[in-house]
Structure 1
Amino acid sequence: MVIVSADNVELSPDEEATVGLSLRPLPAPVPVPSRQQPPLVYRLEDPEAVFAAARAVHQQVLGVEVDSRIYLIPDEERVEETLVWRVEYEPADRLRLSVSGQLDLGSLELWLDDEPVRLSDLTANGQQVAEDGSVLKEVRLPKPGMGTYRLRVRFPLSVTLQQWEPGSALPCTVPLVMPRDGQLVRNRATLITRPGIRPVLRDAAWELEENGSPAPVGLASWTLRATQPASAIRVGLVLEDRAALGLTRISRGWVQTWIHPAASQEQAYVRRDRAVFRFVTDRRLLPVRLPPGTRAAEVAIWLDNQPVTPLRGPEDRLHIVLGEPDGAEHSLELQYSLPVQRAGSMEWAFQLPQIGEQPWVERCYWELILPGNEHVVAVPEWLTREYRWGWTGLFWGRIPVMDQVQLEDWAGTVHRARPAGRTSRYLFSSPEAMGVCRLVALRRSWIVLAGSGMALVFGLFLLYLPAGRRVVVLWVGVVVFVAATLLWPGPALLLGQASGLGVVLALLAAVLERTLGRRRQTRWWPETSSSVLERGSTQILQPLPSEGLSTRTLPAATPESSV
């Protein structure tokens, strides 16, 4: 005799009240329905046998264990959770969850028993929000059943461990996914960081375990536990060693920034950047910060001369997958474009791309290419000017010490087409990472107007004001000119060449003044009235003295009296 009970019915045989039955193992060929409790098999020894047992009818029981691993590692911030349900007595067709309201649902990745699944709303009316602000969701099972169900959840953290000063505490809130139903058997969370980053617990719902889970090799860990479901963990992260953020050494860097007018009227200029870095790092993911306004989807990236697809990060950040650190030097090349405007009427502001977090830079060049009618007149002091003065056609100008081909060979990258059209090229260098570069650039017409205008005004000053030709005034002018040339040789040379038109106009004014002045002096004979000539006067007019030509008036002539 085989006795099979329902899953929610628990039978406890009463051996004293049971008569004429002996318990036996189940024969192999006998098929029985699969139930949560094993079947009871008896051998009938008496026709008047009696089976007696205590019966208990159970409701559905859910037991849940939650293990969370929180990786607070720079550029690898993420959460990996494992939720294990034990379903007993009655089958379940769904698993209900409480998702933190601070979590982006689109970033969640879920696997149910190693099969990818998606979250669903509890009702057809859309998602529901609990009192604590968490969102109620569910995972539907392929078919109703009992037993053990394992759900794995993974999502990135929005916290960014950047621009962090040693000794300061960075506030961090870690959202979590928790079970909505069932009895919480265990709720454990492990914080994993690099040595040099120490978490400080700021959440009363959690407490620190003394003997927690072992940390992965080369990392540090802290284990927390909670007795109730908690949708978040609030901690403060203290940076004790800057090396915990990772080390990146850039041996050679070259950034080429080309500014040219836009084809459409909606944009004034288009900026095209090409950046090449040779580096060594101990990170698995290399962070790349792009200038604001760059479309990450349109960035072309080559790692060791092979095209790669980056991982998208928050805002203007990308991550390049490098794999396990091996100490080898890598080459990274970026190409992108973005619209750009002047920061002012004369100022340009450029945010250059950066890799790593506060990298150690040995040498980095920045090549700036502006339209041919623009000239740089002022740059930050921390930039070293890498050019020499020489003849560029008909003018004396700045020539970079290396052209594009030489820079490509120096950076160890492939040769690509040069920027087309008439341009003005400048080359700068820096022994540190370049951030925001602000410089002053003027159009050639403005420089010619300023230089020629000053030259013309100075020439007219000397021409029409005799006081300006005194020796003291001339000496002061020479001293000011020499001092300005020594302090600002580049702008002074540009103004000197641009003042040519003003010098020519001043010389022309001097020639005209001398020529017209001589003509006025030769016309010394005064004009006489025609009425005097008509009267046939016999009075002889004497020439006027030279000092009174302009102010003296001749006496009126009187006719001779008749005899």
Structure 2
Amino acid sequence: SVLLEANQRIEPLQGEFSEITVRIPVGMELIKLEGTRYREHRIESQDQSLVRVLFDTDNRTAASPIDLKWLLRNRIPPDQSKIQIGGFEVEKGRIQSGIVVVRVTGAYRVQRLETQDRNVVRESLAGLDRMTNPSVPGASDPSNIVGVYRVLEQPFQLVLELKKIDAYVSAEQPQYVAHFSGNSLELEATYVLQVARGTVDNFVLDWPEWKKAGWSIDGCHVRRISDREDENSDLQYDITLDSSEKDAVEVQPAEPVSGHIQIRLVAHRPIESGVQGAQIQFPELRNASSDKGVLVATLADNLDFDSKPAGTTTIRPLDPPRISSELLAEKQDHRRMAYQLNNFRSGLNIRTTVKPPSLSVESTTVVRSSERGLNLEQSLSYSISYQRFSQLMVWVPTSWIESCEYRLSTGEELRPVLTQTTEAGYQQVRLPLEKTRSGNFQLQLRAQIDESELSRSSELQILLARPSEERLSRSRLQTQNLGGIDFSVDDDLWTLESGSDNVPFWTSPTVASQVRARVKLFPDTPTSGIVVSRAFIQTTVDGVGQEYHAGTFLLRGVRGKIRITLPEGSELARTRVRNTEISAASIPDLKNTYEVSLPSLIGAGSEGEMVMECDFTHKRQFGTGFFHSVDSKLVSFGAGESWREVVWELILPPDENLFRSPKQLNPLYRWKLNGPLFTRVNSSDTESLLKWVGAVSQDRPNLNPEGWNKYVMSRFGSVPAVQFVTIRRHLIIAVGAGCSLFFTVLLMNFPVMRHVLVFWVVGTLIATLSLWYPEPVILFLQPALIGFALGLLSSIGQLWWRRRSKPQIEGKTSAIFWRSSIAAPSRERATAPPSSVQPSTSLRGSAPVGHSGLQS
């Protein structure tokens, strides 16, 4: 349609008037008319284009102008492309002029047909600023103005041709969300497209035989989406749905759409479970088709789902993507699967099967020590398939009822409801859930056994919670941080096993609701049973035999006192807890044993966990040989101590190298090329290891000298006494390079040593030694290569000198001058005197071959 908005000013040249007659454009419908002194208007019955406008005569002013505002509309037939603009001619008007502004808001291109115009000239857009009386409608917003024309006189005629712009539509891959229940399938199809230019009047969804398949459309929505947050950014279009065709669905918005558009179609169809299967096809947007799509399928709790591509369709499983879907939000708690669809016009063959519900529960109980006795933390791991639970029913020991805490692994705390059902030593508890649950989740229960009960008898019977469904498939019991308590299981239903971290635990394949255990307290040694979770030992050895050992320990099970036993011959330097230095009292009856009392402000952390630093020194007499031995041993924290992971760092002077690491420790360094030589590089530096063990401060004396050699090693579990063997650097160079140089001299002076068998024997010997002693072989091999290179250079120099010492060349040819003795014939030797001397003979090579002169 064409909407014509006109502002008209009429000025009387002389006299007064109470009415005027205006001719409006032919075919236009007058929608609204208003103005100054306007009273009413009448359309002539004989000529619908003539409008008689009446004015109020009571408030008239002589020679005052009259402003009228016109609003007209004309509907253009689809087959018509020309628009003729004219009119607003005032009868008996002497001077009539004006301005016509053409504004396009739809997807049209406007072209002027100048040959059919009359009394109209084109005006520049800048000319609108000069047209203040009357004001031009919409001149303040020139964004959609495509033409400005000046009317010279009446009657005038402006003819424009409209050409619709073809829309350019690009679309993302469609997203389909399908929910399968026992007897129906719900489908939500979402299409996101961009109309870059022009507008779209309707959308067509190709859906082969959708009515025959039993689909029913529940709704369809078309809206414009935007990233802006203003209220007009999202626009919902009124639509008309045409579902008369059997293979397509047409969506007709009430007005042309453009920009970023989202189309959402919701439908459902019946489906039977357990039969051979059914084929489902997905609606495809014809305006911007895509060969790829995403399908997210959600299933009812009791269904199993199987899908196979049909025809040319191919599918690939995906991780469920994040999709904005009302159906997916409604079914968010259900099982879901995602697929990438390719060439999905043929659809999928699907089959659903109703499955019986299944439930299995595994129990894991952790026993920890506390200040009041033992803490029991039991986790019931539920695995629920093909059903949902809105509540949990659990048999809880009556001794737990008052102090037991119930929560899920997600942190949700559950409020117990006691039922009237009881049995020997147990009370049934109902735990309502905030939302229904299926799949895998954990129920955590916490209870306490007082120390008074532990001290009554060495035998302890521990009751455990169990699910009311009696589906407990496996039970597991393990201990952690049992400071001052010796705990063991004495029950035929439980079997002792060992995990990957060498931590013992007990398992029961049956429904074990109780455990018979033996418990022993250590009242006289309060520090017994300490667990060293992590330990970082730094040993610094100087060149005169002084050793400084700095240990950082992450301890668990500490109750208030720590007893430390140092290796024999050691002296305690300092002890610190949480960056605060604490004095240690020596125990007279126990050699090298100290006791540290923890102040209340420092005390142990959660579950008796704390970080302690203990430094001690040791003096030993180094020998004068090239090899040195460093014997080291860990400190002891009393009876029943348990070590988990130990990292040891050995720090040596620059001229001292580690010959080989102890067999009890695993190296945490690797050989790396550093310039021309290979050196050992640690995988972790000192700073990161201190953070790993939990040290608060990192200021340790005499432990980080510049240029010193550092070697990091580790071990799981307790470390027995270890021996570090070191060697002086000049010995490495002397032995390695000397042996290699000696071998090179033998090769150059004795040809028999250059036999291939000799090289094979030497190579085999080196390879064999590297299997048992890799570090010493690498240490000696590097200077050996240098010695071998020096020997080769020496041999090359000797050969070069021998060539220079040979007789010089004479003449231009390659002949050589020399003197030699030539024996006389046998007859002459027989007659010659015995004392006669044979004459010398010279052979000059400068003579031609075959013509050598023989002189005597």
Give the TM-score normalised by structure 2: 0.32
Structure having the higher helix fraction is 1
Q: Which has the larger share of strand?
A: 2
Larger-gyration structure (1/2): 2
- Larger RCO: Structure 1 or Structure 2 (Cα < 8 Å, ≥ 6 residues apart)? 1
Q: What TM-score do you get using the length of structure 1 for normalisation?
A: 0.47
